[in-house]
Structure 1
Amino acid sequence: MTQAGNSQRLMVLYTGGTIGMQATENGLVPASGFEARMRAFLAQVPERALPEWHFCEVLPLMDSANMTPAYWLRLSEAIVRAAEQGYTGVLVLHGTDTLAYTAAAMSFHLLGLDIPVVLTGSMLPAGVPDSDAWENLDGALQTLASGAPQGVHLYFHGALLHAARCSKIRSVGRHPFKTLERQRLTQHRQTLPAELKAGQARQVANVAVLPLFPGISAQHVSALVNAGVQGLVLECYGSGTGPSDNDAFLASLNEASSKGVALIAVTQCHEGGVELDIYEAGSKLRAYGVVSGGGMTREAAVAKLQVLIGSGLSPEQVDYWLQQDLCGELAE
């Protein structure tokens, strides 16, 4: 499967997920042995020219519903190690439930890495009727082989998506992922501090998401702060509004900010973004320590907070870099 004269070397990292699951009496579970199945599939079309590739399981294999930020650290370390070993591209096989979160996380964990990384998976296991597994795997491999651009991407059903801009919007079918039509900024990308570059040691941060809803109270925020949350994504209404007449709620945000908790607002809407100064109900959030997430998705905001806080930046630095475009999550 090595193309003559081709110096490319690809690493395939298998994390589990539906693509390689096997049926048990309790339902589908992640299973080892996928490399042999993958090689058998690719051998069916021997005329297809692929670069040299190697396979590695990232243990423990898991249903992506069990994905954690600690696993993101192991996965990013494996990708950096592959780059250091001379691999020219990395394919990550992953379950779809949290694929958009992991794709966004890798976008921030691998800032500055000079090889392409593509994540894919499937809605049905390889080998079952009407499965999308092999078409996604083959398409992702072909994309890497043909020269995917540097950076992190999500590949699904023929589309190469920006890893920090997409979400899973369907639980069935061949098109579960979509790039959300969020607000984009014109912004000069800043020079990255050393702490944010790929390969740096990081800790897992305590990050949470709190959707706003009618009846939300100070107790909801305080419960998270008392649980030790370090970063909080507020999923706000519309262009970034919240209950501006609830003094206790606003005070709870102020208390969280004063304790060093990073507060970022994203919109609950699929389109548009946050502009906190349009309405008083948004400008009050800013006055109490909330920063604008612009057009960032929930997945990107969670991942970005994980990396900024986990890199040991000060609260002031976290607030600053939350509002700067690092990998296309905010700007074109």
Structure 2
Amino acid sequence: MPAVQNLLVLYTGGTIGMQMSADGLAPASGFEARLRAQQAEQPQQVPAWTFRELLPLIDSANMSQSNWLAMVAAIRQGVEQGCDGVLVLHGTDTLAYSAAALSFLLLGLPVPVVLTGSMLPAGADNSDAWPNLFGALQALHDGVPAGVHLYFNGALMHGARVSKLRSDAFDAFQVMPRLRQGEHLAELPASIDYRQPREAVNLLSLPLVPGLRAEHLRALLGSGVQGLLLECYGSGTGPSDNAELLEVLRQAHAQGVVLAAISQCPQGHVDFGVYAAGSQLASTGLVSGGGMTREAALGKLFALIGAGLAQKEVEQLFVLDLCGERSE
């Protein structure tokens, strides 16, 4: 793990650089000057860095697929121009979603990408902004493996296995424990590496709840959804006695919609064969996300479907461990 020598700092907005406006805290330009001034007061050794604002700066609650693609383009350009590491400054609300999406959109990238942000703005009393930012810089200086990571509250975490579990504490993010699915990462086809163009995808996650009706699913799928992630009960069960609902899923799958499943349980794992209810659900064409987080499963579906792959190929790749998202 060589130390990063030439770093790109990509500022997307978020709480870390927000300043007060008439409507409350809002993303603000000028963060580079604040960062350089703060660096002069820090004892850490950090890589040489260049700074880029990814405009428009956003509150991460407004994060979209187009923002992810813009990040990928900026990161790819930075690497092509000689950067050997990237630090992304990002809001915390969707930080885990972006870390997961970038984990799959940047498969094969030969340099490390670290995302960080803060619960309180830089400059606020007792803020975690500078500790998080300079902690990430220190980690990159010391050496971080290629791939996408999240640095927060003193910990470097796997980008595709992290979730935000708290809204009001500095240790908001945790790596979710997962059952081991395989010993080796899958060999990556060229069709999904970081140079592959992507397009926006009509994609949605839906938690199963008691009372879910076939007409609910029918209306949702009628909106042109290309991929549907079902958040199932327990080990992958659902309303197996609702023949109409199951038929809606079968018809959607027959029409090319990718159907995937994860567990609603934070430490859950999909194994359709445990219960008959799970087997019935799987018979509609669902593929298992194993123990993936919601963030990882959505990011993976976006990267695969957005690459223009056929339904069958998406399903084949979805069940493979591409970057450690399915393993402990």
Q: Provide TM-score, normalisation by structure 2.
A: 0.97
For 1:55 and 1:133, the matched residues in 2 are separated by 17
Counterpart residue number, 2:273: 277
**Residue 129 (1) aligns with residue 125 (2):** yes
Counterpart residue number, 1:170: 166
Counterpart residue number, 1:320: 316
**Residue 44 (1) aligns with residue 44 (2):** no
Superposed CA deviations along residues 130-170 of structure 1, whole A, max 9, x for unmatched, are 11000000000000011111110000011011100011000
For 1:267 and 1:75, the matched residues in 2 are separated by 29
Contact 1:190/1:325 (CA < 8 Å) preserved in 2?
yes
Contact 2:47/2:141 (CA < 8 Å) preserved in 1?
yes
User: For 1:87-126, what aligned pairs fall within 5 Å after superposition?
Assistant: 87-126=83-122
Counterpart residue number, 2:260: 264
1:159 to 155, 180, 185: 155
User: For 1:302-313, what aligned pairs fall within 5 Å after superposition?
Assistant: 302-313=298-309
For 2:46 and 2:266, the matched residues in 1 are separated by 38
Superposed CA deviations along residues 274-311 of structure 1, whole A, max 9, x for unmatched, are 10111011111111111110000000111111010000
- Greater Cα offset, 211-220 or 91-100: 211-220
Counterpart residue number, 1:3: none
* 1:187 CA displacement: 4.3
For 1:173 and 1:49, the matched residues in 2 are separated by 27
- Tell me, what secondary structure is at the counterpart of 1:73? helix
- Tell me, what secondary structure is at the counterpart of 1:160? strand
2:55 to 52, 55, 59: 59
Contact 1:238/1:267 (CA < 8 Å) preserved in 2?
yes
- Tell me, what secondary structure is at the counterpart of 2:78? helix
Give every structure 1 segment of 4 or more consecutive aligned residues whose post-TM-superposition deviation is greater than 4 Å.
Answer: none
* 1:273 CA displacement: 0.8
For 1:23 and 1:162, the matched residues in 2 are separated by 32
Counterpart residue number, 2:237: 241
CA RMSD of aligned residues (A): 1.1
Counterpart residue number, 1:184: 180
Counterpart residue number, 1:14: 11
Contact 2:237/2:278 (CA < 8 Å) preserved in 1?
yes
2:190 to 190, 194, 197: 194
For 2:4 and 2:97, the matched residues in 1 are separated by 32
Report the residue type matching 2:40 in the other structure: A
1:209 to 205, 210, 215: 205
Which blocks of at least 5 consecutive residues in structure 1 are unaligned? 1-5
Report the residue type matching 1:209 in the other structure: S
- Tell me, what secondary structure is at the counterpart of 1:154? strand
Which blocks of at least 5 consecutive residues in structure 2 are unaligned? none
Question: How many aligned residue pairs are there?
Answer: 326
Contact 2:160/2:325 (CA < 8 Å) preserved in 1?
yes
